[in-house]
Structure 1
């Protein structure tokens, strides 16, 4: 059964997070072994104050994925994806893409014309995800350097590239 069918059948539910989900989101990020860690407080804040631009994926009452994002203050038609996490047992099943599509489908998101995220060059999974979202919506995925490596303290961080997808057609 495809991920979209599992979502329709209720096996996977996608919903806005609540502050009760913040700790689960933090643990999922920590346990992923690949995500850059933010404080537990950051996940609590996203779950409470940015519910309209965040989503969690749940299977049998367990959080197996999340997307955190916000509207760019300088470009209100742009949803910036801060972080995407999917439990390693569920990676490669299309859950991350389904969560992004859920954000774009929501009534609160009707004004979104562009989707942005920053991705490091080594993160092939995220690169493929965002390019795939662009193809799904039959629109452009423009990639350009955002934060050069020298801006990060300690010299141990790769550059971050902006993936800008859009314009995204109006949603149903």
Structure 2
């Protein structure tokens, strides 16, 4: 799909307004910042970092809006050394919109843009005890008909100095978008 606005689905939670997925702009920064604040499991980046993500990385990031309100946020990028990979940094979904397909819609919104036409893999780092994220990525891999692998990546003591749990590189792919 091309363009900034994409009506991909209606939420399955009985709401009548569609969720719209699109690229973020500088005008979405405050809304993204507020949404992340509603997701205590996520680390909050600086406001300036969110501004850079909404502008410099807008092609690979996405917002989900319902009735003009930002209800979902994907921060993602293509690593310079792995241009065929979309690395998912964070996914934030409004608590009232969870389990309605918003997270998957955010990723598909980014993947369906021209800048991601050569993407064949999705990667993210996830702690072993983060059941929600691990289930999300396993379901995404299944829906994309792609294998999923995990391997140790960031160590609790070596990389995080004991402040965070160890994280595993979750890799999905190869993916084929026309199979979704």
> 1:112-132, CA deviations, whole angstroms, 9 ceiling, x for partnerless residues?
011000111221111111111
In structure 1, the residue matched to 2:104 is 97
Is 1:159 the counterpart of 2:176 in the alignment? no
Which runs of no fewer than 5 residues in structure 1 stay unpaired?
none
Cα offset, 1:170, TM superposition: 5.2
**What TM-score do the two structures reach when normalised by structure 1?**
0.91
Measure the CA separation in 1 of the matches of 2:40 and 2:17: 28
Once residues 123 and 161 of structure 1 are traced to their aligned partners in structure 2, the CA distance between those partners, rounded to angstroms, is: 11
Structure 1 residues 31, 170: CA separation in 2 closer, same or farther (over 3 Å shift)?
A: closer
Specify the alignment match of 1:15 in structure 2: 22
Length-normalised TM-score, structure 2? 0.87
- Cα 1:106–1:171 change in 2 (3 A) is farther
- Does 1:150 find its partner at 2:154? no
Alignment check: 8 A CA contact 1:110 1:171 kept:
no
Structure with the larger helix share: 1
1:59 and 2:66 matched = yes
Query: How many angstroms apart in 1 are the aligned matches of 2:90 and 2:149?
Result: 19
Cα deviation, residue 139, structure 1: 1.1
Within the candidate set 2, 6, 10, 1:6 is matched to 10
Task: Give secondary structure in 2 for the equivalent of 1:75.
Answer: coil
More off after superposition, 149-158 vs 26-35? 149-158
Aligned residue runs from structure 1 range 16-55, under 5 A:
16-55=23-62
Q: CA RMSD in A?
A: 1.9
SS at match of 1:119: strand
Specify the SS of the correspondent of 2:83. strand
Q: In structure 2, list runs of 5 or more residues that go unmatched.
A: 1-6
Cα offsets for 1:122-146 (capped at 9, x unmatched): 2111111111111111111110111
